[in-house]
């Protein structure tokens, strides 16, 4: 078992000396056993069920995503171990969103048509296309979620409308449109696109499939959030020892966004590990700090900045209230990073070094590592988070080069070139460095 740090330090206070600190502690985070044992059992079984539903979708790879070990970078950071769960390998869609959107679409269809007795796995196989042609789904997106929903809708046979705000690149728009989605453009930022998607749905009788919850809209965001528990389930399987005993890493650094990913991942880890769950740090762009502000105000809150970041998937102005309910009691710390920190992390992952395999990570995908690197280079943060030479840290690379031209500009090398170097070095890694487990179990 990884050794937990014994360092105890006072939490950084919000607004000390008139400045916003780079991180704050969540005094409401709980270390008690998961509060509802029956819900815990039901949700773990539900996650396994959903893995089976997705096991035959042609746009999803049918093995667990790699869990890379980066020993050289870990040594540089002064920690015992660093592992990267690489969601860029999840699907040709190149992001973790390939889990949430299709699961939410399946569950929405099952709720809308209970009398049809649809077989869940057969929905994404296109078996019910004639029945679903009249169904229209819509969402707002910064890119990855919309692309995943468009792909799932195309596979299922329903119509899909995607609302994009002004800052979404043409490259991301084209990637979504390639799956047959109809594109609507709006002025403003992500929050403006969320409002427009809700308006269009109400006007036309369409159905919103969004990971952002709001008053009266929680079922679908809840489905998406819980779907991300598949990532946690895979991680636990991949780090168990041969006797089946789970290894507990000490820390996990997770991207923020509206909160759906960290809420889904942390909720599952809490269900599984109980009070022994790892210390969690939520990482956001400084100018899109809605979860940081939520921790400060103890309610789902708005970001304090301009919500414009190269970490496009994290450029969210308002926290999801549903996700915040989970994070309020399961996330230990909230921190912000600069765009330059994300770029540095992207380049670090792409370079590889010695034993460390090169990894393709977009700006949002590299945010967790960016937070870890900032913390390890800042002694007060390092002490605050309890990071030391005994720490076993996990980060999740949530996306690959989903905008290839932007990736090449920021990294100075194409994603394809990095993957070629990854392939050439991969044979030198131990099998445990990139476990591949079936998506579904009998």
> Residue 333: what are its φ and ψ, rounded to 5°?
-140, 155
Question: Catalytic pick from 40, 85, 89, 97?
Answer: 97
Query: How many helices and strands (H and E) does the chain possess?
Result: 18, 11
Residue 178, number of CB atoms within 10 A of its CB = 12
Question: Catalytic pick from 40, 86, 142, 401?
Answer: 142
Directed axis angle between helix 260-273 and helix 321-330, to 10°?
Answer: 40
Contacts for 347 with CB less than 8 Å, ≥ 6 apart: 410, 411, 412
Rounded to whole angstroms, how far apart are CA atoms 329 and 32?
A: 10
> Residue 433: what are its φ and ψ, rounded to 5°?
-75, -20
CB 183 within 8 A of CB 139: no
CB 71 within 8 A of CB 355: yes
CB 250 within 8 A of CB 390: yes
Rounded to whole angstroms, how far apart are CA atoms 389 and 259?
A: 30
142 counts as catalytic: yes
For 357-372, give one letter per residue: b (16+ CB within 10 A) or e: bbbbbbbbbbbbbbbb
User: Comparing C-alpha atoms, which of 88, 10, 21, 3 is closest to residue 374?
Assistant: 21
CB 67 within 8 A of CB 90: no
Query: Which residues have a catalytic role annotated?
Result: 97, 142
């Amino acid at each position: 078992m990884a050794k937990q740090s014994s360092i105890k330090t006072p939490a950084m206070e919000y607004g000390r000396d008139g400045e916003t600190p780079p991180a704050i502690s969540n005094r409401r985070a709980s270390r008690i056993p998961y509060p509802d044992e029956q819900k815990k059992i039901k949700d773990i079984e539900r996650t396994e069920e959903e893995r089976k539903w997705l096991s035959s979708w042609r746009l999803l790879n049918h093995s667990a995503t790699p869990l890379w070990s980066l020993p050289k970078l870990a040594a540089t950071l002064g920690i015992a171990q660093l592992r990267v769960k690489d969601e860029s390998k999840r699907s040709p869609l190149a992001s973790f969103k390939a889990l949430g959107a299709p699961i939410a679409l399946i569950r929405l269809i099952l709720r809308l048509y209970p009398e049809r007795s649809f077989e869940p796995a057969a929905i994404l196989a296109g078996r019910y296309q004639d029945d679903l042609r009249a169904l229209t789904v819509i969402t707002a997106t910064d890119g990855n979620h919309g692309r995943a929903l468009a792909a799932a809708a195309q596979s299922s046979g329903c119509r899909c409308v995607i609302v994009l705000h002004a800052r979404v690149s043409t490259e991301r728009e084209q990637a979504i449109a390639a799956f047959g989605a109809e594109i609507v453009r709006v002025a403003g930022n992500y929050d403006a696109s969320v409002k427009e998607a809700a308006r269009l749905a109400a006007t036309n009788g369409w159905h919103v499939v969004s990971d952002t919850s709001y008053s009266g809209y929680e079922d679908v965001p809840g489905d998406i959030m819980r779907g991300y528990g598949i990532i946690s389930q895979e991680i636990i399987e991949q780090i168990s020892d041969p006797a089946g005993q789970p290894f507990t890493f000490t820390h996990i650094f997770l991207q923020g966004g509206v909160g759906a990913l960290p809420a889904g991942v942390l909720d599952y880890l809490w269900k599984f590990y109980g009070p022994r769950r790892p210390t969690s740090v939520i990482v956001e762009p400084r100018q899109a700090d809605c979860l940081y502000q939520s921790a400060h105000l103890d309610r789902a809150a708005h970001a304090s900045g301009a919500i414009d970041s190269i970490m496009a998937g994290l450029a969210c102005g308002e926290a999801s209230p549903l996700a915040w309910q989970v994070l309020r009691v399961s996330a230990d710390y909230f921190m912000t990073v600069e765009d330059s920190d994300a770029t540095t992390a992207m380049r670090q992952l792409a370079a590889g070094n010695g034993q460390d395999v090169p990894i393709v990570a977009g700006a949002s995908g590299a945010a967790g590592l960016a937070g870890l690197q900032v913390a390890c280079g800042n002694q007060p943060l390092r002490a605050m988070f309890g990071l030391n030479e005994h720490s076993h840290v996990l980060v999740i690379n949530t996306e690959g080069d989903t905008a290839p031209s932007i990736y090449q500009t920021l990294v100075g090398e194409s994603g394809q070139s990095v993957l070629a170097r990854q392939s050439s070095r991969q044979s030198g890694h131990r099998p445990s460095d990139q476990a591949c487990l079936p998506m579904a179990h009998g």
